[in-house]
Amino acid sequence: MIYTVTFNPAIDYVVRLDAPLEVGEVNRAKGEDCVLGGKGINVSGVLAQLGCESVALGFVAGETGAWLERGLAAQGLKTDFVHLEQGMTRINVKIKAGQETELNGAGPDIPESAMQELEKKLDSLNEDDILILAGSIPASLSQDTYERLLARLQGRGVRAVVDATRDLLVNVLQYHPFLIKPNNHELGEIVGRVLTTDEEIIAAARTLQQKGARNVLVSMAGDGALLVDENGEVHRIGCPKGKVVNSVGAGDSMVAGFVAGWMQTRSYSFALRLGTACGSATAFSLGLATKEKIDELMKEI
């Protein structure tokens, strides 16, 4: 089974204006949407499109949390959230008016008792289960939270996938995650230099393998992606053609496609291909990738 963790899920209230936003004035929307999200939830959503079942874990609170939970169930996603007694699941306001303005909520505080409840859920994971940790850690939790969870799972054969940046990523390498997915700029920040060629990216990826990562997937936006797999092989892929209309969730979609592709075939080259199709399908769509769009792009790659 695949498990995703979203520490601070959100309801994105997306408002569309047909004129520039006027600060201090009444602005009338021409349309609005509510999108249920968070990085791990995005991964679960794309996995569902690919026919892969997952369980979305994390924390919800208040009436907004109940709404989020019901909405995900209506989409056919399985969830097993920890319910917090205080606070409310955050609402992020995204104003699209030519330029995009965002006002992101803080979300509820997560007490130690709630973390322990999440850990008990993770205690049921066994060999061959996959745990996907994605995104930043809320201010109410210690920044070593990823390390704490992976240390608890050590020796159980659980394959960990970590999509995070800088120290959050570097500090979990000692637990030999199955997959990490920095982009080329984040990888450059980690190794302390600007990476401009494939050879430099490969060398930097191998540095992270030496520190413990099994597979390093480097996304490079319009330049495609590069994978250095645990056998030392390098896989390079370009991007299908299309107009980018949405960057939100593209990285999460790539993670979902890679994991699903690997689970279905145990082929790293196929996993990279499906991951690239999923990431591009989201980038070319207003929302997350759909099965139809993924299938269409798989024929092009």
- Known catalytic residues are 252
Question: Tell me, what amino acid is at 184?
Answer: N
- The phi and psi torsions of 242 (rounded to 5 degrees) equal 170, 165
Crossing angle of the two packed helices 39-49 and 250-265, in degrees rounded to 10: 50
Q: What is the DSSP letter of 183?
A: B
Q: How far apart are CA 7 and CA 256, in angstroms?
A: 18
Q: How far apart are CA 70 and CA 58, in angstroms?
A: 15
Element (H, E) at 259: helix 250-265
| Burial zone of 21 (CB within 10 Å; 0-12 exposed, 13-18 middle, 19+ buried) | middle
**Contact of 150 with 132, CB cutoff 8 Å:** no
Q: How far apart are CA 219 and CA 247, in angstroms?
A: 13
One DSSP character per residue, 98-153 reads: SEEEEE--------HHHHHHHHHHHTT--TT-EEEEES---TTS-TTHHHHHHHHH
Q: How far apart are CA 67 and CA 153, in angstroms?
A: 31
